[in-house]
Amino acid sequence: MENIGIVGAGSWGIALANLLAHKGHKVMVWSIIEDEINMLKEKHEHVDKLPGVKLDDSIEYTTDLKEAIEDKNLIILAVPSPFTRSTAHNMKEFVKEGQIIVNVAKGVEEKTLMTLSEIIEEEIPQAKVAVLSGPSHAEEVGRGLPTTIVAGAKERKVAEYVQNVFMCDVFRVYTSPDVLGIEIGAALKNVIALAAGVADGMGYGDNTKAALITRGIAEITRLGLAMGGKAETFSGLTGIGDLIVTCASVHSRNRKAGYLIGQGKTYEEAMKEVKMVVEGVYSAKAAMGLAKKYGIEMPIVEQVNLVLFEGKDVKEAMNDLMNREKKNEIDDGLWTE
């Protein structure tokens, strides 16, 4: 049994808390919101973000960040990506040398273009940082539905430790040293999912969504490889796997926000209606910044940015994507004439 602190009481943090408690670990969940903690203590359910999922009675809850971190074998950082830096900064004084922090949020910081694990390493240099990512909606993990995911870390022993902590009969965990590739796939799939949602909102069909998923992973892979990620990562669970589930699922907040935008709402109106942080909106500008930094062509990401932040009409954006100059799908060097 491990003693685990979960920083963040959103749907994903709560789903993981329930998973780990059912496995027999000692789990404490932190939130800065006192009403949220009181609700969890009283109802043993997150009625707003994970309704219908009854939580293990052994889970403890606190608003004291020090209590959530000290003497824990493992810390899970589960706050939305825009709050990763500020939360990590506040955690620093309580984290011991070599303490393992697992980031489970997805995003890239707009101003610095840093991944979330890079931010945590900068703010808490004494920690050992890992990531946990893959096609894993909280609504399904909370219900105990079979899920497969990847634990990434720079050190094999850290990745394998995280694997052992989480793995059970409904939660299969693979390991990977490609932390950068995992995080780029995780962050940018949310941007592509916005585009897929827009297409759904416009009334387009399966052909359109398949095109966006396929060409979307091509964009993500081009950028990821340029940054030093591994090709296998983008064809795996945290690449195409996570992209498929986020573009297609009714649980996806990014797809839902895109759907509302496709029906004519602004991104601010869409985010307000979704009622949760829509990571793709925050990652879109960062994705475009990375594309420019590394000289990578990312037409879908570009059009998403134009729709979100410059008011471009969604039909015009789709038309511009469809009428780009002709391309080969693979290297034409295979032709002999």
Residues labelled catalytic? 189
Rounded to whole angstroms, the Cα distance separating 90 from 85 reads: 9
Tokens of 329: 């799908």
Tokens of 69: 């971190």
**Ranges assigned E (strand) in 116-235:** 128-133, 147-153, 171-176
Rounded to whole angstroms, the Cα distance separating 286 from 22 reads: 37
> Which of 181, 256, 273, 280 shows the shortest CA–CA distance to 225?
181
| 259 to 76, 205, 210, 251, 274: CA distances (angstroms) | 31, 13, 16, 12, 11
Rounded to whole angstroms, the Cα distance separating 200 from 202 reads: 5
DSSP label of 276: S
Rounded to whole angstroms, the Cα distance separating 50 from 140 reads: 10
Which residue reads 């808490």 in tokens?
124
In whole angstroms, what separates CA 81 from the centre of its chain? 8
Which residue reads 């091509």 in tokens?
218
Rounded to whole angstroms, the Cα distance separating 158 from 6 reads: 18
Rounded to whole angstroms, the Cα distance separating 133 from 182 reads: 7
Q: Which residues are bridge partners to 60 per DSSP? A: 28
Beta strands 147-153; 128-133: pairing state? antiparallel
| Beta strands across the sheet bearing 26-30 | 60-62, 26-30, 3-7, 74-77, 100-103, 128-133, 147-153, 171-176
- First-to-final CA distance of the chain: 64
